[in-house]
Structure 1
Amino acid sequence: MPDVFVAGLDGQTRKKAIAILNENLAEVIALTLAVKQAHWNLKGAGFIGVHELLDDVADRLRDSADLMAERAVILGGFARGTLEVAAETAKMDAYPVEEEDINAHIKALKDRFLTVGESVRKGIADAGDAGDEDTADIMTEVSRAIDKDAWFIGANATK
């Protein structure tokens, strides 16, 4: 492992936390790309509001990715945040690339936000169980942002 910049955590705890962070980093990168796919292609009533919202959501997801990636490095690991790693390891369902209906995008995004949110919540518990409350706290911050954005996106669905 590279240099360690945190005190009080043994190597095994750091290793577990790094794995948790990288697993969720891949999910958040995949989710960010899904959000941008929807942003570029959606059409329908309410287009401009959802289009602009999705840019803000992508920015927040990138902020979350930064938090997780930087924590992995602080713990002495590597951030595994390439497109190739995300494509290989993310468990989120592939996003439809030939969809334009705004409501279909809202549903597809909501479903993926719920999946990633579940993974992040598991990461909170796993980091706490491993003894790294700081990583659990970062994952909690990510979870809050994902929940809020899922709600923002879902609130645009038409009945």
Structure 2
Amino acid sequence: MPEHFVEELDQGTRSAMVKLLNANLSNAIALTLAVKQAHWNLKGRGFIGVHELLDEVADRLREGADLMAERAVILGGFAEGTLEVVAERSEIDAYPVEEADIAAHIDALKQRFKFVGAEVRKGIVEAAEAGDEDTADLLTGVSRALDKDAWFIGANA
């Protein structure tokens, strides 16, 4: 691993947290792409509001992904966010590419947000148990944003 900037955590803990952060990074990037897929293709009542909301949601997802990637590097690892890595490691269901119905997009996104949120919350517990309160705190912020965006999206149903 390259240089790290957190002296209080041992190598094993740092390595485990880098792996945890990269797993959540893959899910966040895949979810961002799903949000953009919906943004580009949805049609129906309430289109403009949901279309604009999804741009804002994608921005927030990218911010959370950036925080997770940077934390992995701070811990002495590498951020692994390439297309190839995300395609291999993301655990969210493949997003439908031939869907236009706004209600179907809302439902598909809501399900994926709930899944990614649950995975991030598992990460919070794992980080706290490992003694990495900073990673746990970072993931808590990501979790709050995911839950809020799930609500924003789901409230359009």
Q: How does 1:46-125 map to 2 (within 5 A)?
A: 46-125=46-125
Which residue number corresponds to residue 43 of structure 1?
Answer: 43
How many equivalent pairs are there?
157
Deviation of 1:130 (Å): 1.1
Give the share of equivalent positions with the same residue, in percent. 73
Deviation of 1:96 (Å): 0.2
CA distance in 1, matches of 2:4, 2:112: 34
Deviation of 1:98 (Å): 0.1
Deviation of 1:129 (Å): 1.1
Which residue number corresponds to residue 137 of structure 1?
Answer: 137
Deviation of 1:6 (Å): 1.4
CA distance in 2, matches of 1:32, 1:7: 33
2:29 maps to 1:29:
yes
TM-score where L is the length of structure 2: 0.99
C-alpha RMSD of matched pairs (Å): 0.4
Structure 2 residue identity aligned to 1:75: L
Deviation of 1:5 (Å): 1.1
Deviation of 1:7 (Å): 1.9
Q: Secondary structure at the match of 1:80?
A: coil
In terms of mean alpha carbon deviation, does 51-60 or 123-132 score higher?
Answer: 123-132
Structure 2: runs of 5+ lacking an equivalent: none
Cα deviation, 1:126-155, whole Å, max 9, x if unaligned, reads 111111010000000000000000000000
Which residue number corresponds to residue 2 of structure 1?
Answer: 2
CA distance in 2, matches of 1:80, 1:128: 22
CA distance in 2, matches of 1:79, 1:39: 27
CA distance in 2, matches of 1:29, 1:7: 29
Which residue number corresponds to residue 127 of structure 2?
Answer: 127
Deviation of 1:3 (Å): 0.5
TM-score where L is the length of structure 1: 0.98
Cα deviation, 1:35-54, whole Å, max 9, x if unaligned, reads 00000000000000000000
CA distance in 1, matches of 2:83, 2:130: 28
